[in-house]
Amino acid sequence: MPDDALIGLTGDPANGALVFAAAGCASCHVATDGPANLLSGGKRFVSDFGSFIAPNISSDAEHGIGSWTDLELASAIKAGVGRDGRHLYPAFPYTAYSKASTQDIVDLIAYLRTLPASDRPDVPHALDFPFNQRITLGPWKALFLRSDWILADVPTPQLERGRYLVESLGHCTECHTPRNALGGLQTARWMAGAPNPSGEGRIPNITPAVLKWSEGEIAEYLKSGFTPDFDSAGGTMAAVVRNTAKLSDADRAAIAAYLKAIPAVANEEP
């Protein structure tokens, strides 16, 4: 990001807490054996390219992000560039966060600085060759880091807000859209479901072609985790619901409205 990108912006931790929930930061960066506000990292995420290990992003100056400047953090979140100038792996969804407003990112950073420190050291990713070569990430970004919205025409403020929460902060597409051999999103099948990287089952199609719930039912699911059939969210979606439950009713309704407005994509033939 430009050196002057944050000039004139002051972080609001209260709004940052909402951005933190919408962006699902805790879902990846809270350790399985730690308290809910300790961003000590360590979770392992299996993929076709090897395993990614979530880093410590607590306020610890040595092992976390306590010594990072706001500009360095904003560049990591919105541009996928570390403080050492190296490209970050897109397992960190900066491809979605790149569309977030700079003010929201500044607010998020202000909130992160209020959270406790952890001295847990980072664990290196365990990636296969050639994906362990960061030199490949520059060309990858040139191919797949895009600034345009999937749904360009949003005629109402509610749909615009829903688009922002779904496509940017919520980064729903990162799980619900299949990827090509290089890890780029197959946008022609946007939100049409994808293989589960863990190898267990499949992440569902949530376009209107398959997701027939009403807007009210979607919003309720995002609040309580209960489906219209009285089932409940499980697996990684349970963590998502813990985050969306912290949003306002208006934001959950905006997400629901947007999911009903996106292009319908039928399931592929088995």
Query: Average pLDDT of 28-33?
Result: 84
44-47/194-195 β-pairing: unpaired
**Residues above pLDDT 70, as percent of the chain:** 98
Per-residue confidence (pLDDT) for residue 212, from 0 to 100: 95
All residues at 6 or more sequence positions from 178 whose CB lies less than 8 Å from its CB, including other chains = 185, 186, 189, 192, 193, 194, 195
Per-residue confidence (pLDDT) for residue 36, from 0 to 100: 72
Q: How far apart are CA 253 and CA 220, in angstroms?
A: 9
Per-residue confidence (pLDDT) for residue 143, from 0 to 100: 93
Per-residue confidence (pLDDT) for residue 147, from 0 to 100: 87
Query: Average pLDDT of 65-85?
Result: 96
Amino acid letter, residue 26: A
Per-residue confidence (pLDDT) for residue 140, from 0 to 100: 92
Per-residue confidence (pLDDT) for residue 234, from 0 to 100: 81
- Three-state DSSP at 116 gives coil
Per-residue confidence (pLDDT) for residue 217, from 0 to 100: 97
As a whole number, the mean pLDDT across the chain is: 92
Query: Average pLDDT of 71-85?
Result: 95
Q: What is the DSSP string of 20-80?
A: HHHHTHHHHHS-TTS-TT------EEEETTEEEEPPP-SS-TTTSSTTS-HHHHHHHHHH-
HSE-up of residue 73 (Cα within 13 Å, Cβ side): 24
The structure tokens 């360095």 sit at 72
Higher pLDDT, 177 or 236: 177
| Closest C-alpha to 251, from 96, 13, 21, 28 | 21
50-53/44-47 β-pairing: antiparallel
Please, what is the Cα angle at 258 between 240 and 172, to 5 degrees?
35
Q: How far apart are CA 135 and CA 115, in angstroms?
A: 33
Per-residue confidence (pLDDT) for residue 129, from 0 to 100: 87
**Given a cut of 80, is residue 199 above it in pLDDT?**
no
Per-residue confidence (pLDDT) for residue 269, from 0 to 100: 57
Distances (CA, A) of 113 to 69, 70, 82, 109, 217: 11, 10, 18, 6, 36
pLDDT in tens, 127-166: 888 888 888 899 999 999 988 998 888 999 999 999 999 9
| Closest C-alpha to 27, from 236, 247, 252 | 236
**Given a cut of 70, is residue 13 above it in pLDDT?**
yes
- Name 44's bridge partners: 53
- Name 179's bridge partners: 185
